[in-house]
Amino acid sequence: MTATLLDGAAIARQVYAQLKQRIHLLHSRGVQPGLAAILVGENSASRIYLKNKAQACHDIGVHSEILRFAADCTEDQVFATLQNLNADPRIHGILVQLPLPSHLNSGRILQAIAPAKDVDGFNWVNLGAMVAGHTLLAPCTPLGVMTMLDYARVPIEGRSAVVVGRSAIVGKPLALMLIARGATVSVCSSKTADLRQYTSMADILVVAVGNPGLVDGSMIKPGAVVIDVGINRLPGGKLVGDVDFASASRVASRITPVPGGVGRMTVAMLLENTVTAAERSVGMD
Amino acid sequence: MTAKIIDGNAVARHVRSEWKKRVDVLKAHGITPGLAVVIVGNNPASRLYVRNKVKACAEVGLHSETHEFPADTDEAPIIQRIAELNRNPAIHGILVQLPLPPQLETRHLLGAIAIDKDVDGFHLYNVGGLVVGENNIFPPCTPYGVQCLLEYEHIPIEGQNVVVVGASNIVGKPMALMLMAKDATVSICHIKTRDLAQYTILADILIVAAGCPGLITAPMVKRGAAVIDVGINRLPDGRLAGDVDFDSVKEKASYITPVPGGVGPMTVTMLICNTVAAAERYAAKNAEKIPASA
């Protein structure tokens, strides 16, 4: 068997096309969706990420603004700005670009974003709502994984899903989203005694660890759908995921490439969350 | 092999006596931990639960008070009462007894409780803390009680295969998150699971909270597993039974909880623990205002 590629770029294009229609409807109601991003310091990777997000906003008709703070700013300065943004009717989504300088408590700062505008989905109220089964705004990467599964019409209910990696921004929220859709979910980590025992049961296998080649074809159930969230740069400069693509693609029915898979979905989901938040702000959801 | 039967009543007594010492320390500093219970309507089961909570508070030396409302009360007066309790320095824990009458939105009332007094751990902020793996929150009482039983019996969790059967918002999902934070590999099964035995047979620790008597039988259990039965079902003949076929599974498991007398007594105990912890946090935050004594 040779797996079909789950093409993140192509799915993201479809997501953007749908979003444009929703934004058009919002414009016709006099609402311009708005995203505000907070950037602290001069981290060059962060600047590139934010530039990409701003460009994507521009391309589909979402207002965006970046609020810059010096690397040595105080938490109170950030809080004050967040309070203004929380109250600003032109802004429907707020994100704080991570990582923050070490003197700032990112946990506390993320909690200061109003849950209804928390388009990264990191606020505890939004994470808690996922456990309670009424997700409001979900973190972008797991939301992107779910969107890919849905675009590819992968059945979820009653299927065995295995999530390798149990971070608070990918693994655990994704597990909750899969449970909400009726999958039986196992969450593995570096402490799992026999990873193969789990991965070989999975109809849907999602790997989000940051460990190149952790999962190879021999660990995968024939016909499984394999989603690789990992992005690792090898010493030679090449980007690879956590799954050994060459062997896995011979066993899986569908598989995401790295790059060009899940990574392409994350920004699209940020914009989707922003549009959703804008729709809710005027009762259009 | 016959399993060790985990005596939830004995563990609960032990835990309460340990926490009573912490209550005594607080009292020496002029703070009596206080729990307020809001109850709406006349559901007899709810009234029984509330009586048990009040009794447990008295045993461990906590102040408790119940705030009763008629079954047809609107949201506003209850929210107002919760707001008063949020401000009341003598109250460190607040809970709203569930279920609520249909005209009331559970989420609104639970969301009105101050997060630092949310001793049932149902406020979304506290629930979200479980996802992040934050320690400084109030874990929901039933999964917290299960974790306490495992730790009391020195049953290892890290690296173990855990299977949770039942994906409820107040037991299954929080339980899974708490055990992930303890480095277990956790599978969550539920009504949509196609081959339950395929999962349960993997479990070093099997936690069943499905509300389905006799769901788990001996062939589904790995030899030597620890089996925790959260189910409480009333059988047609009036007996109480869990979700696990106790008689057959106890011959295969290494540990097993009975029903009744297993997880049940722990739930109220953990409510007491959360309330005392809330009072300790209050004391730490207000240390300068509280006269040192003893």
* SS3 annotation, B215-236: CECHHHCCCCCEEEECCCEECC
Q: Across the interface, do B193 and A184 touch by the CB < 8 Å criterion?
A: yes
| Average pLDDT estimate for B196-222 | 98
Residue A173 forms contact with B (CB below 8 Å): yes
Q: Which of A128, A173, A201 sits opposite B124 (nearest CB)?
A: A128
**Mean pLDDT of all residues in chain B?**
96
pLDDT at B287 (0 to 100): 81
Token pair recorded at residue B165: 């059967």
Q: Which of A125, A130, A187 sits opposite B180 (nearest CB)?
A: A187
Q: Among A108, A131, A137, A205, pick the best mutation site for testing chain B contact (most B Cβ within 10 A).
A: A131
Q: Across the interface, do A184 and B188 touch by the CB < 8 Å criterion?
A: yes
Query: Among B197, B199, B194, which Cα is nearest to B218's?
Result: B197
Q: Which residue type sits at B72? A: D
CA–CA separation, A211 vs A243, rounded Å? 8
User: Could you check whether the bond before residue B33 is cis, i.e. omega within 30 degrees of 0?
Assistant: no
Q: Is the pLDDT of residue A45 over 80?
A: yes
Q: Across the interface, do A172 and B124 touch by the CB < 8 Å criterion?
A: no
B116, B120, B204, B243: the active-site residue? B120
pLDDT at A65 (0 to 100): 97
pLDDT at A90 (0 to 100): 97
**Strand bridging mode B233-234 / B240-241:** antiparallel
Token pair recorded at residue A198: 């789990």
Q: Is the pLDDT of residue B36 over 70?
A: yes
Secondary structure class of B57 (helix, strand, coil): helix
Q: Is A97 part of the annotated catalytic residue set?
A: yes
Length of chain A: 285
The share of chain A scoring above pLDDT 90, in percent, equals 96
The position carrying tokens 């993140």 is A8
pLDDT at A255 (0 to 100): 98
Residue A131 forms contact with B (CB below 8 Å): yes
Residue A196 forms contact with B (CB below 8 Å): no
Residue-wise pLDDT for B243-287, tens only, equals 999 999 999 999 999 999 999 999 999 999 999 999 999 999 988
Q: Is the pLDDT of residue B294 over 50?
A: no
The share of chain B scoring above pLDDT 70, in percent, equals 98
Q: Is the pLDDT of residue A277 over 50?
A: yes
Exposure of A233 in the CB half-sphere (CA atoms within 13 A): 3
**Strand bridging mode A239-240 / A232-233:** antiparallel
Q: Among B130, B188, B202, pick the best mutation site for testing chain A contact (most A Cβ within 10 A).
A: B188
Residue A132 forms contact with B (CB below 8 Å): yes
Chain A segment 228-267 residues within 8 A of B by beta carbon are none
Token pair recorded at residue B107: 């989420």
Residue A100 forms contact with B (CB below 8 Å): no
Q: Which of A131, A158, A182 sits opposite B173 (nearest CB)?
A: A131
pTM for the full predicted model = 0.96
Residue B88's CB: how many other CB atoms inside 10 A?
14
Contacts of A126 in chain B (CB under 8 A): 124, 128
CA–CA separation, A204 vs A156, rounded Å? 8
Evaluated on CA atoms A97, A270, A136, A185, the torsion sign reads: negative
| Average pLDDT estimate for A268-275 | 98
Residue B143 forms contact with A (CB below 8 Å): no
**Mean pLDDT of all residues in chain A?**
96
Q: Is B103 part of the annotated catalytic residue set?
A: no
pLDDT at A211 (0 to 100): 96
pLDDT at B135 (0 to 100): 86
Q: Across the interface, do B185 and A186 touch by the CB < 8 Å criterion?
A: yes
Residue B192 forms contact with A (CB below 8 Å): yes
What beta strand segments (E) does chain B contain? 4-5, 34-40, 63-69, 93-96, 161-165, 185-189, 205-208, 226-229, 233-234, 240-241, 255-256
**Sequential DSSP letters for B66-90:** EEEE-TT--HHHHHHHHHHHHH-TT
pLDDT at B293 (0 to 100): 45
Q: Among A186, A205, A221, pick the best mutation site for testing chain B contact (most B Cβ within 10 A).
A: A186
CA–CA separation, B182 vs B174, rounded Å? 13
- Residue in chain A lying closest to B187 (CA): A186
Query: Among B203, B174, B209, which Cα is nearest to B187's?
Result: B203
Q: At what angle do helices B124-132 and A171-180 cross, to 10 degrees?
A: 120
Q: How far is CA A218 from CA A229, A248, A257, in A?
A: 19, 8, 18
Residue B158 forms contact with A (CB below 8 Å): yes
Q: Is the pLDDT of residue B182 over 50?
A: yes
CA–CA min distance A264, chain B (Å): 25
Token pair recorded at residue A41: 């310091």
Q: Which of A160, A168, A201 sits opposite B132 (nearest CB)?
A: A168
Residue-wise pLDDT for A89-145, tens only, equals 999 999 999 999 999 999 899 999 999 999 999 999 999 999 998 899 999 999 999
pLDDT band at residue B291, thresholds of 50, 70 and 90?
Answer: low
- How would you label B259-268 residue by residue, b for 16+ Cβ within 10 Å and e otherwise? bebbbbbbbb
Q: Is the pLDDT of residue B126 over 50?
A: yes
Contacts of B198 in chain A (CB under 8 A): 201
ipTM: 0.95
Exposure of A19 in the CB half-sphere (CA atoms within 13 A): 27
pLDDT at B289 (0 to 100): 65
SS3 annotation, A193-207 = CCHHHHHCCCCEEEE
| Average pLDDT estimate for B11-26 | 97
Q: Provide φ and ψ at B229, rounded to 5°.
A: -105, 110
CA–CA separation, A72 vs A75, rounded Å? 10
Q: Provide φ and ψ at B108, rounded to 5°.
A: -65, -45
Residue A169 forms contact with B (CB below 8 Å): no
Residues contacting residue B93 through CB under 8 Å, at least 6 positions apart: B33, B34, B35, B36, B117, B119, B271, B274, B275, B278, B279
Q: Across the interface, do B126 and A128 touch by the CB < 8 Å criterion?
A: yes
CA–CA min distance B254, chain A (Å): 20
pLDDT at B285 (0 to 100): 92
Secondary structure class of A240 (helix, strand, coil): strand
Q: Is A191 part of the annotated catalytic residue set?
A: no
pLDDT at B290 (0 to 100): 60
Q: Across the interface, do A124 and B125 touch by the CB < 8 Å criterion?
A: yes
Query: Among A206, A63, A218, A190, which Cα is nearest to A141's?
Result: A206
Q: Provide φ and ψ at A197, rounded to 5°.
A: -55, -40
Residue-wise pLDDT for B210-230, tens only, equals 999 999 999 999 999 999 999
Q: Across the interface, do B130 and A123 touch by the CB < 8 Å criterion?
A: no
| Average pLDDT estimate for B163-178 | 97
Q: Is the pLDDT of residue B114 over 60?
A: yes
Residue-wise pLDDT for B40-77, tens only, equals 999 999 999 999 999 999 999 999 999 999 999 999 99
| Average pLDDT estimate for B104-117 | 96
Contacts of A201 in chain B (CB under 8 A): 198
CA–CA separation, A223 vs A153, rounded Å? 14
